[in-house]
Amino acid sequence: MTPKLRCYFTIRSTCYYAIALLFGTSLMLSQFSTVSATGGVGSGFPAQNETGKVLIHHWNFNDIPNDVFFSTTSPELLDLSSRLYGALLSFDGGSWDRVNDPTNLNAREDPYDELEDRGLRLRNPSGAFTIELPTSGYRDVVFRYAVKRTTSGAHSHQIAYSVDGGDTFQSDGLPETEISVDTTYQLVELDFSEIEGVDDNRDFQVRLTMTGEGSEPENDAGNQRFNNITLDGYVMDEEIERDLIHHWAFDNIPNDVFFPTRTEISAGGITGGQSTVSGAWLRYDGEQWDRVNAPTPFNARTVPYDEDEDRALRLRNPSGDFLLRLPTTGHSDVVFRYVVTRSSNGAAGHEIAYSTDGSVFVSQGLPYSSVKVGEKYIMHELDFSGMEEVDDNPDFTIRITPSGVGSEPDNLDGNQRFNHITMDARATGTSAENGIGELPVEVRLEQNYPNPFNPATEISFSVPEPMHVRLEVFDVTGRHIETLIDRQMSRGEHTTRFNAENLSSGIYLYRLEAGNQSFTRRMMFVK
């Protein structure tokens, strides 16, 4: 029940021993120690360090403008990158802002750029600095931060933690409860691996209360400065084993291709995406949407992560709904995840709701339904486990509506950016797609229904064994219209939806290629 706490003091040197100390053997030590540290650690925002732990939350404050004083009661995201929504900083002292005071301690940038690195300044520090650090889905977490003070700043601070959302704070198990703060940066590390209640806890918080000489409320000149505040931890083993049933990553979409708005685009269509359950689609009811070169390693399903290749989905002028049809047919215990960021003048938030019938949207049961969107990627996770109305549902739909500053219809420049949209679920074996009743013994392509249609129709086919399937739509001249499916499919009957709302009336062809066989049928679109 004893966490491990250490402070590291910075001394200029060319020794890269700090890399091992920060991310390797230091996590196994339990004594107070002093080391030399220089240079950057890691590259970009690594998904995993040498110990196997992932970086869950990280503040570095580099992109915050100068001369902006933050609210103490409702602070912004403050340059946060995070795998879990809900991380937050708050300070109930005098005032706080950004400061040009760099340090390479615990830096996640490579190379370290002294001209670009910034810190967080807590002015007149007579109050408490609280860091909300959700750990949902993670265990054995380690909390780190770099800290220093000005000559007249508070000479120390007390450390406490909460596992109940801030209702009560305690210091049980901490070998040290008060940290002396010097005028040069030091790295403080708290290992909560052995503290009960910290693992898998959305309400975990750490509080630093300014103490000692310089912490008097009337101290108008002193301050403490923080940088590179991080939380690392191990991913917990899930009790329920889930399969990835829907995934959009947007990497293979050409640039400068605007997708049709107010139109359902199926998985495998021009927005990309892969699904093992048929019927998935995306739709945006705003002004424009397209692909953008805005990478993130969060929730990346490709190994290794390639920053030069990773792309995102850009929802321009975000004043409309973003709808995601995510059928759960034959599955239960579904978990929906996505990562999101915004441009500097993009919508500062969005509202989340879901529908079990495709038309009526609610937010009951969600951990949160109104979120802030920052200028760095944050991953959101919505766990629908145990919600029976979501299980085995072909009409399950998520709606994300931009909100807040920047969501006005006349905002011609702002946008929100989404990536690695996924849904994982547990197969129940009750899906017609997984082979209810008689399993097919040959490849078959059925006539679409309805036919003629306006504006959408469903196309069914069956395969006798797992195989790669490609289903495409062409006009009568042979011009390619849309790829509906291009992936490995399981044995059984499958159905997908084709929407021709933006096409002209006429005859269209749809072609199925499965294994070494090919089938083509005609369908009629009548407006």
- pLDDT tens readout for residues 150-159: 999 999 999 9
The single-letter DSSP state of residue 405 is: T
- From 213, 235, 257, the end of a domain falls on 235
pLDDT exceeds 60 at position 426: yes
pLDDT of residue 141: 95
What tens digit of pLDDT does each residue of 183-229 get?
Answer: 999 999 999 999 999 999 999 999 999 999 999 888 878 899 999 99
The reply to whether 171 and 72 lie within a common domain is yes
Confidence at residue 305, expressed as pLDDT on a 0 to 100 scale: 65
Task: Write down the pTM of the prediction.
Answer: 0.71
Distance CA 322, CA 337 (A): 15
**How do residues 290-332 score in pLDDT, each as one tens digit?**
999 988 877 655 455 677 778 899 998 767 899 999 999 999 9
Return the CATH number at 281.
2.60.120.260
Instruction: Let me know whether 411 and 466 are in one domain.
Output: no
439 shares a domain with 417: no
Please say which residue of 235, 251, 282 terminates a domain: 235
Per-residue CA distances from 126 to 121, 208, 215, 310, 333 (Å) = 13, 11, 5, 45, 47
> For the chain, first and last CA: distance in Å?
70
* Euclidean distance between CA atoms 456 and 245, whole angstroms: 23
For residues 144 and 276, state if they share a domain. no
Q: Give yes or no: residues 33 and 61 share one domain.
A: yes
Q: What is the CATH number of the domain that holds 492?
A: 2.60.40.1930
pLDDT of residue 4: 52
Q: Which of 427, 458, 485 is the last residue of a domain?
A: 427
Whether 286 and 187 map to the same domain: the answer is no
Measured distance CA(120)–CA(116) in Å, rounded = 14
Q: How does residue 278 score in pLDDT terms, banded at 50, 70 and 90?
A: confident
pLDDT recorded at residue 175: 82
Question: Average pLDDT over the chain, rounded to whole?
Answer: 82
- Whether the per-residue pLDDT at 494 is higher than 80: the answer is yes
- Residue 470 shares a structural domain with residue 396: no
Specify the number of domains making up the chain.
Answer: 3
Listed range (122-126, 198-202, 507-511) with the worst mean pLDDT? 122-126
Asked if 420 and 472 sit in the same domain, the reply is no
Q: pLDDT at position 439, please?
A: 61
Band the pLDDT of 111: cuts 50, 70, 90. low
User: Dihedral sign, CA of 426, 419, 80, 58?
Assistant: positive
Better pLDDT: 372 or 16: 372
Shared-domain flag, residues 217 and 267? no
Residue that the structure tokens 């017609």 belong to: 432
* Whether residue 55 is found in the same domain as residue 104: yes
Confidence band of 110 (pLDDT split at 50, 70, 90): low
| Structural domain for 448, as ranges | 435-525
Residue 415 shares a structural domain with residue 443:
no
Same domain, 379 and 480: no
